[in-house]
Amino acid sequence: MITSSELWVHPSLILLFGALLLPLIPKRVRQGYLLLVPILVFVHIHGMAQGTYGEVPFLSWTLTFGRVDALASVFGYIMALMAILGTLYALHVRKTGELVAAWVYVAGSLGAIYAGDLLTLFLFWELMAFSSVFLIWYRQESDSLAAGFRYLLVHAAGGVSLLAGILLYSRGVESLAFVSFNVQNLGAGEWLILIGFILNAAVPPLHAWLPDGYGEATFSGSVFLCAFTTKTAVYALARGFAGLEILIPLGVVMALYGVVYAVLENDCRRLLAYHIVSQVGYMVAGVGIGTQLAINGVCAHAFAHILYKGLLFMGCGSVLYMTGQSKFTELGGLYKKMPWTFLFTLIGGLSISAFPLFSGFVSKSMTVQAGFDEHILWAAFLLTLASAGTFLHTGLKVPYFIWFGKNHCKPETWERAADPPWNMNAAMAITSVLCIYIGIYTPYLYNMLPYPVDYNPYTSYHISEAMQVLLFTMLGFFLLIKKLQPTATIAIDTDWFYRIGASYFYKGADKGANSLNTMGDQIAMRRVPNALARFFAMPGGHIQWLLMRTLLRAGGATEAQIETERQKVAQRSREGSYPVGGSVLLAVVFLSLVSILFFLF
């Protein structure tokens, strides 16, 4: 029985039923239906009052499908908004299954956001993993197929860790409510839950699934992927582990690690994927700081990140869709062919680089300021340094080497290049407006945050500091532009252990364990059954011959005499006749063995 104070429909149900009905919708109304469903979800979420809904008794616990509070509301709002923008961008996709997978994926994310207990959280957590992999597989290339299996393997391992942690945690508590854990005294269950969360947050070394999978997804699938998995994990960390100090160094490492690998990357979408690792690092560090300003910074930056990262993936996805290429060494000079796409991608690059009047400027600085306020100076300075790297590769490298720089396009690539269809341009235009609007009118974002905001990003000191970092980074880029030219290289990351290292493990296992298995098969399934079959064909003859051969050898008989006697025994066994003396001897031996076993045991 579902208990609630009023009739309540879970927003995930709207998406799930919408996805279920999508294959049945006629083509003439399909695009309208595709926009209607996520808009209904957004309107429903925007109108939900704070409270607890959808409580279901289960065994000795209570499952809560709808816990709506300030923290959940800000994440639910932006994810529903991104579902509209992502669907608009993918409006012309002909593969219905890809859109179904995208909506189920969003439903899983929203379900995890509003989950009030750990079991409900796990249910939607796994729904996210097993639906999102199809956004990689639907590209239908060999690399995408392999990347999808690796993606699924890693997330299955994270799900097992999360479930094991929940089971261990349930042994010591009366309720499985998803609330803040005691970060000063974490048990084994809480640590396993934390591992499940940080895997989805792509914390190194558990991060390589992200560039591996997102870089091989469909052009529209990557727009959805970049927005939901890591930000749902950030929400879970903010809900359960705010103030856990180990997250501060982990977040700083993420911010720097993602920047380094993004600078080295040749594929524009893999570059953006690595930069997800970097930007989520700010959020993870903010969770570790744990103050009200830091948590506000986490929520604000997650909100802004979903928009500008989605915009960047839309821009690079448009290049892939129109030209079939995503590597810098196969692009260049496209500003004449794709001017609108360039403009929208530039806005995304300026937003992610925390340029004044853009969304990243009013969100990222909150976390950095929280670090300074708590006197964690090393973290605050390193996060500021990571901002310079962000502008270097996403604000400068991506626009320059795709739309300017030397033209490396093949003739067929150049001929195909053009701005994408209207719906893709519309999605990028709306997202661009939002990135600028958030940067100019801060109350739009700040009024949604879970705690009262006493922070003004537009101080003269902050503006001058940001401009110094950005302008010196720009100067360095153009001075070193020849050395920063992309090359067709492969950067080895921690995924080596399960991409290449796993092949060596398989070969070792094949020669080791499988050889033992083959030997066991030969003995247990072939030799032993054949020997038993021969024995039971004439058991008396075999036993009699065993005894006679021993006596003959002891008596000095020759090999010829032994062979003659063996043939006689075999003949008598086939005829069913045995000497009386031999039968008596067998009986005595049998009774002796039984007597020995009786007295021993």
The pTM assigned to this predicted structure is 0.84
Residue 219 and residue 251 in one domain: no
> pLDDT for 340-395, tens place per residue?
999 999 999 999 998 999 999 999 989 999 999 999 999 999 999 898 888 888 88
> pLDDT for 533-585, tens place per residue?
666 666 666 666 666 677 667 777 777 777 777 777 666 666 556 566 666 66
Residue 236 and residue 297 in one domain: no
Residue 366 and residue 428 in one domain: yes
**Burial profile 171-184: b = 16 or more Cβ within 10 angstroms, e = fewer:** eeeeebebeebebe
DSSP-assigned states of every residue in 195-240: HHHHHHTT-TTS-THHHHHHTTS-TTHHHHHHHHHHHHHHHHHHHH
**And the tokens for 276?**
């997800």
Residue 35 and residue 171 in one domain: yes
Residue 434 and residue 529 in one domain: no
CA gap 63, 117 in Å, rounded: 6
Burial of 307 (0-12, 13-18, 19+ CB in 10 A): buried
Q: Across residues 74-84, what is the average pLDDT? A: 96
H-helix or E-strand spanning residue 296: helix 292-323
**Cβ neighbours for 269, distance < 8 A, ≥ 6 positions apart:** 214, 215, 222, 313, 316, 317, 320, 326
Burial of 475 (0-12, 13-18, 19+ CB in 10 A): exposed
Least confident range of 404-413, 449-458, 462-471: 404-413
Q: Across residues 164-174, what is the average pLDDT? A: 89
**Considering its fold, how many domains does the chain have in total?**
3
Greater model confidence, 528 or 544:
528
In a domain, 579, yes or no: yes
Residue 330 and residue 201 in one domain: no
**The predicted structure's pLDDT at residue 516:** 75
Residue 182 and residue 225 in one domain: yes
The number of beta carbons lying within 10 Å of the beta carbon of residue 406 is 11
Q: Are 298 and 283 in contact (CB under 8 A)?
A: yes
Greater model confidence, 9 or 59:
9
Residue 254 and residue 228 in one domain: no
In a domain, 427, yes or no: yes
Mean pLDDT of the chain: 88
Give me the residues paired with residue 56 across strands: 63
Q: Coil, helix or strand for 507?
A: helix
CA gap 334, 157 in Å, rounded: 42
**The predicted structure's pLDDT at residue 78:** 96
> pLDDT for 282-319, tens place per residue?
999 999 999 999 999 999 999 999 999 999 999 999 99
CA gap 3, 442 in Å, rounded: 39
Residue 111 and residue 176 in one domain: yes
> pLDDT for 146-168, tens place per residue?
999 999 999 999 999 999 999 99
Residue 194 and residue 327 in one domain: no
Which domain range does residue 75 map to? 1-241
In a domain, 400, yes or no: yes
Greatest alpha-carbon pair distance for the chain in Å reads: 116
Q: Closest Cα to residue 70, out of 452, 346, 539?
A: 452
Q: Across residues 423-447, what is the average pLDDT? A: 95
**The predicted structure's pLDDT at residue 5:** 46
Residue 393 and residue 539 in one domain: no
* Torsion (CA) 429, 432, 434, 435 in degrees, nearest 10: 180
Q: Coil, helix or strand for 58?
A: strand
**And the tokens for 98?**
């890809």
